[in-house]
Amino acid sequence: MFLINCPYCGERDQAEFSCGGEAHIARPKNPPELSDDQWAEYLFLRKNEKGVHYERWNHEYGCRQWFNLARNTATDEILTVYKMGEAPPKLKANIPATPSGEPSIGSGNLSTSKKDRF
Amino acid sequence: MFNKNKYSFLSIAKNALSHHENWQKTWKSPEPKKNYDAIIVGGGGHGLTTAYYLAKNHGINNIAVIEKGWIGGGNTGRNTTIIRSNYLWDQSAALYEHALKLWEGMSQELNYNVMFSQRGVLNVAHNLHDVRELKRRWHANRLNDIDCEWLDTKKVKEFCPIINTSPNIRYPVLGATLQRRAGTARHDAVAWGYARGADEMGVDIIQNCEVTGINVKNGNVTGIETTKGTINSNKIGIAAAGHTSVIANMAGIKLPLESKPLQALVSEPVKPVIDTVVMSNTIHAYVSQSDKGELVIGAGTDGYTSYTQRGGFNIVEDTLMAIVELFPIFSRMKMLRHWGGIVDICPDASPIISKTHINGLYFNCGWGTGGFKATPGSGWVFAHTIANDQAHELNAPFTINRFSSGELVDEHGAAAVAH
């Protein structure tokens, strides 16, 4: 659970929002020419990134506006908020880097930003 | 055949003489060799059963199981331990029923008590639509030779006396299906038991070893890079649950998976109060009681991709509201522990047990929120797929190709719980 900074309403509880999944998946311009594999790619295949994930959110129980988030799925840290139609910003996320790629306690249970560390 | 490592009454008596300080190690944990006939990535239930059945059914013993954490520390130790096979579609029913049959003989076969308890699973209906859907599934199960019966409200109350059958609650109990052969098992004992069984047949179980790369040459897999060095093999099976996409990415493969947190919690221990498993799709709650006396409660998935093994409090709150309405007797119980696991969910909520376009690279993933019940069956068919480079008839419908062909096995909702 985290706070999301809605570009229209400001910071609100994540329970007010619903996630619309991976962002920037464009509907194919030439549907009749697509092969079955290309349809599968568009409909089903997802990056499912561990790291920076660009995704769509809807402020469902608020202003009901859609917008984009870049979130580090390894820590749930929100990196930036940007509006629909805008190009995804180029970002690098801090992936927890112990020998097994995880923080020492649990998995992804710590933030990688210095200010949140204890 | 006499086996000095067999657990028995005699071995308990013998070890009592040395204050139980000299029990043998359950598995060896060796350093990895340079070459193996097969490598399984992921030392959870599915990976260990795969190694076990590769050795037992297919005579391939030179295997490494690579685990980045420790055995039983992933989703195997995080689920709510429910086992059942009452799925709607023929393909799923056949797969899960095969698994259930293996559960029934597991403790004897492994000489390891997995505490499999066939206490029955109730799937409760709360509205007319539920009643129709659950009755449809009941008939489908009977046609597939899977035990299932329909209980009306009165019989539900008799079977599980603490359930609230008042007609005045928001989602009243209108009936339920009951699978009597379904139940629960001690989840980490399953991992330990199979790890021990595989180890005895020569499988190397390597913990604290993370895969960092997959080596592919001319379309053939040649080995893996790990934090303990390069390990070569021309057969590699991936059973990495929530992190499957991360591994697939190393081989340049994109899969139809989304990894999401799934939460569960247990209460303080109390005396036996519920002797079955109650599941509700509509209000999304499931509850059973462990042998220690804790209520084991499963919540739903959080609605976003995350690898953090924790989820939102609102999800827990929703589940507990449903539990308390269905079981007012639990309203003052304190919850003791709460955790999340990362589940990899397919668009059709069915697993992928499949070859890939890279020779020798196999995936067993997409089990989503319901992989525990399939543990032995999953390993059985995945071992067959790896050994023969060809799907077993039970997992033939569960290949990656179904997302191109459109032959989805749509278990969203049909599986008796919403995923």
Structural contact between residues A73 and B306, judged by C-beta atoms closer than 8 angstroms: yes
User: How far is B178 from B321, CA to CA, in rounded Å?
Assistant: 23
Residue contact A47–B312, C-beta within 8 A: no
State the best of A35, A42, A44 to mutate against chain B, taking most chain B CBs within 10 Å.
Answer: A44
Q: Which of B249, B213, B246, B218 minimizes the C-alpha distance to B232?
A: B213
Query: Minimal Cα–Cα distance from B404 to chain A, Å?
Result: 5
CB atoms within 10 A of CB B196: 22
**Any long-range contacts for B162-166 (C-beta under 8 Å, 24+ apart)?**
B162/B273, B162/B274, B162/B327, B162/B329, B163/B124, B163/B278, B163/B326, B163/B327, B164/B325, B164/B326, B164/B327, B164/B328
For the cut 70, the answer to whether the pLDDT of residue A115 exceeds it is no
* Extended beta strands in B316-400, E state: 335-345, 352-355, 361-365
Nearest to B210 among A46, A71, A101 (CB): A101
Question: What is the per-residue DSSP string for B369-390?
Answer: GG-GGGHHHHHHHHHHHHHHTS
With contacts defined as CB-CB under 8 Å, which chain A residues touch B307? 50, 73-74, 107-108
pLDDT at B418: 55
Residue contact B312–A15, C-beta within 8 A: yes
A38 CB within 8 Å of a chain B CB = no
For the cut 70, the answer to whether the pLDDT of residue A113 exceeds it is no
User: How far is B247 from A72, CA to CA, in rounded Å?
Assistant: 18
Query: Minimal Cα–Cα distance from A53 to chain B, Å?
Result: 8
Nearest to B309 among A1, A71, A106 (CB): A106
Q: What is the pLDDT of residues B123-154, one digit of tens each?
A: 999 999 999 999 999 999 999 999 999 999 99
Q: Nearest chain A residue to B69 by CA: give it.
A: A100
Calculate the average pLDDT of chain A. 84
pLDDT at A77: 85
Cα dist. B330→B270, B275, B325 in Å?
A: 11, 15, 9
A106 CB within 8 Å of a chain B CB = yes
Which parts of chain B have pLDDT scores under 70?
1-4, 413-419
Q: Nearest chain B residue to A111 by CA: give it.
A: B308
DSSP state of A62: T
Question: What DSSP element (H or E) covers B20?
Answer: none
Residue contact B259–A19, C-beta within 8 A: no
With contacts defined as CB-CB under 8 Å, which chain A residues touch B252? none
Pairing of strands B38-41, B63-66: parallel
Query: Minimal Cα–Cα distance from B302 to chain A, Å?
Result: 9
pLDDT at A116: 45
Query: Minimal Cα–Cα distance from B214 to chain A, Å?
Result: 16
pLDDT at A92: 79
Q: Nearest chain A residue to B68 by CA: give it.
A: A100
Cα dist. A2→B27, B73, B261, B309, B331 in Å?
A: 41, 25, 14, 14, 27
Structural contact between residues A66 and A56, judged by C-beta atoms closer than 8 angstroms: yes
Question: What is the per-residue DSSP string for B227-276?
Answer: TTEEEE-S-EEE--GGGHHHHHHHTT---S-EEEEEEEEEE---S----S
DSSP state of A114: G
With contacts defined as CB-CB under 8 Å, which chain A residues touch B69? 100, 102, 107
Q: Phi and psi at residue B269, in whole multiples of 5°? A: -75, 140
Cα dist. A114→A89, A111, B123, B213, B328 in Å?
A: 22, 8, 47, 29, 45
User: How far is B403 from B419, CA to CA, in rounded Å?
Assistant: 19
pLDDT at A105: 43
Extract the tokens encoding B356.
């890939």
pLDDT at A76: 86
Nearest to A48 among B259, B303, B404 (CB): B259
CB atoms within 10 A of CB B180: 14
pLDDT at B123: 96
Residue contact A76–B404, C-beta within 8 A: no
Residue contact A48–B258, C-beta within 8 A: yes
Question: What DSSP element (H or E) covers A58?
Answer: strand A52-58
With contacts defined as CB-CB under 8 Å, which chain B residues touch A40? 256, 403-404
CB atoms within 10 A of CB A16: 17
Mean pLDDT of A78-91: 93
Q: Nearest chain A residue to B312 by CA: give it.
A: A1
With contacts defined as CB-CB under 8 Å, which chain A residues touch B258? 21, 46, 48
Residue B127 CB partners (closer than 8 Å, separation 6+): B171, B174, B282
Nearest to A40 among B227, B306, B403 (CB): B403
